[in-house]
Amino acid sequence: MSEANAIPTGADELRRKDAEALLRFRSVRSAHTYQASWYNNATFVFPLLAVIVSAIIWLVTGSAEAGGAAIFFLVVTAAMLPVVFITWQRQTTAVLVHEEGVTALHSGLEQQTIEWDELRSVRRVETMGNVRWYLDGAGEEHIVIEGEIAERERLLDEARSEFERRGG
């Protein structure tokens, strides 16, 4: 981004708190939002859908088994809610590429920043068909780039370019 007041690519898609956080960083080149939400978590959605389906079957047929299944899945859904909320609190909601490096945010709060001089690798990890990218910094520091990050390839290209430019 060449102008101080220019809007970086992707900034118009950010959640409100992440967009407000954008002002704290110098020369943001691009902003990449996490395109899913807490309720997209399969450990929550699948049991909830099972509650709905089994409750409909129970209401239509009067089947005690369907009623029992609805109650069971309701308990499972309720038990999963705290897990989903805890994991969501650690989920990156936006990744900013800026003059100093890359920063992962969660609802406007900085989770991790890796400065360009500290970037050690840009690596791909596949686990059971799920592909994630890791931007590794000094020591154990890393930023995970999930598949749900908007314009992920552009973000990775920018990170690779900086890494190569700095002799990585």
- Interval 51-68: pLDDT, tens: 999 999 999 999 999 999
**Tokens read off for 122:** 């840009």
103, 98, 115, 104: which is closest to 6 by C-alpha? 98
Polymer length of the chain: 168
With tokens 């190569």, the residue in question is 164
Q: Which has more confidence, 146 or 55?
A: 55
- Interval 84-127: pLDDT, tens: 778 767 788 899 999 899 999 988 889 999 999 999 999 999 98
The predicted pLDDT at position 97 comes to 92
- The pTM of the whole model exceeds 0.85: no
Q: 100-127 burial, b if ≥16 CB within 10 A, otherwise e?
A: ebbbbbbbbeebbbbbbeebbebeeeee
Q: How far is CA 147 from CA 58, 104, 129, 135, in A?
A: 38, 15, 11, 14
CATH, domain range 11-34+92-165: 2.30.29.30
Burial (Cβ within 10 Å: 0-12, 13-18, ≥19) of residue 51: buried
